[in-house]
Structure formats: structure tokens, C-alpha cells
Structure 1
């Protein structure tokens, strides 16, 4: 079963529950929806595939990119230089460590969470961590006119 993310996956169930004043069903369907604002149906518009200009601010401002937190093969030379600086004295070691950024972790994994934290996440957060993208269904815009006609006929 595919998780319910936004209103277009419910079809007309949410509207029928509201129309027939079924508060329990309406609350149940609302509880199924994702709390993430960017996944709401209002924000699921077609993406314009126009050619976007490429701006690289790092290059324009002559700023170097930040190094990753994980250990890399190029860090071996830096560690060798750090050990040489340590042999020259503590002041030299401190100066070198201020000038060269050191790796913080051996392997960088952005999706790594402790099991207790992962167990507390709701299904929508777990789905976003897994990288599952939602697929919008094809909707019929003319169906809205028919629904409005039915509603106006019941009110008269």
C-alpha cells in the first residue's frame, strides 16, 4: 500500500466526509496526510524545464568550497604535516591546526541516525529519509465543474 501524502491521493473521500458532516472520518483522513508543507497538493505544480542560467558564486567571488567532514585520501599528507608540526612544538601544532581543517569523521553518512531516533520518526519522515518521491496522479479538471453542479443542485 502506498502511503497517503496529500489530498489528491484521497480522491473525493475528504470532501464527502466534510459534506456529510462525518467528523470522525474527516479527522481520520486528515491524520493520514503528510505534515510537510512542500508535499501539499497546492505546491505540486508542473516544473518548468526552461534553461536556467548557471551561476557559480564560488567561482565569481573566488571563494573555495568547504571541505567535507569525512576523511579523504588527500588528508594523509595533511596528517603527515601535522605530525611534523607536533615535533617542532605545541605552538607550531596549534598554528597548523588553525590553518588546515581536519576531518571530523571517518565516513560521512548524512542519513545515519541512531536506532532510538529512527524508531520515533513517523512514516512520512521515514519515507523522505529513504528518498521516495511522490508521483502525482493525472487529474481531470472538468470533474470540478461536475462536483460544483452537484453541490449547487443539493443546496437549492
Structure 2
């Protein structure tokens, strides 16, 4: 008789071990245990963090906080600001909050400082061109020119009637 896949740890057995103990089936219990791997590294408690790299495993095993973020990009996430904690509770409260939720050393936007100054002085269309997300003009071209003029005339008449009504 060939086994389709070898048993490695007790998680693969599910409740079969428990059922064998509960119903006093010593033979089945012994057979199931003998089919498991004899290597202790194959046990389920050592298989939990397989996808983590060595740094993440050490951070998790020693229960260390996350690394302090050096640069915070405001376009991607919200910046952590612990200044309120300093004003409310003083230096000790600030140090505690800084240890739990460290704020970044440098906070900036998506671009370098020089580029942000330049983009702040540009119009919206130039900013969109820089991001390479220029809106398509085809929606405007779909409406016939005479229909556009009619719509503009109706809007101007409505505004004029509202102005005369107020005066």
C-alpha cells in the first residue's frame, strides 16, 4: 500500500488523534503517531513563521516595535504627529507615545522640496500633465457645437433672470 502524501505534523490529522483517544482506540492512536515525522523541526509550532524573513522573526520573537520611519510621504499615508501628547502630558508622555507610535523624522510630499515649490505655483492642468493624468477631451467633443451654444444661452438667461429678480 502506497501513501499518497507523507504525514508531517499533527495538523494534517485534524481530529483523528482526538477521536482515537476518546473512543479508546490505542492501535489507531499508535499508528497515527508512528506515521508522523520524527524530526522536531517539522512540528506545527515551528511552521508558523515560514514566510517571514529573519529580521521579521527576530522583531516578533523579541516583541520589538516597528522601525522608526525616516521619511513620511504625505501622498501615501497620514503622518503621525505626537506634538499634542507633549503639550498635554509633557516630555514623559511624549516619549511613551513616541516609543509606541514613532513619527517620521522627515515629512514631505510625493516629490522633492524643489519640485513641490514649482508644482505649487503651477495651474491644475500643468500639475496633471506632470502626473501624466491629463483628462480626455473627448467628452466635450461629443456634444455638438450648436447644442453647447444653446446650453450656454439657457444658463446665461437663467442667471440674468435671477439677477433681475434680486434687484
TM-score above 0.5, yes or no: no
For normalisation by structure 2, the TM-score amounts to 0.29
For normalisation by structure 1, the TM-score amounts to 0.31
Q: Which of structures 1 and 2 has the bigger CA Rg?
A: 2
> Which structure's relative contact order is higher, taking Cα pairs within 8 Å and 6+ residues apart?
1
Larger helix share, 1 or 2: 2
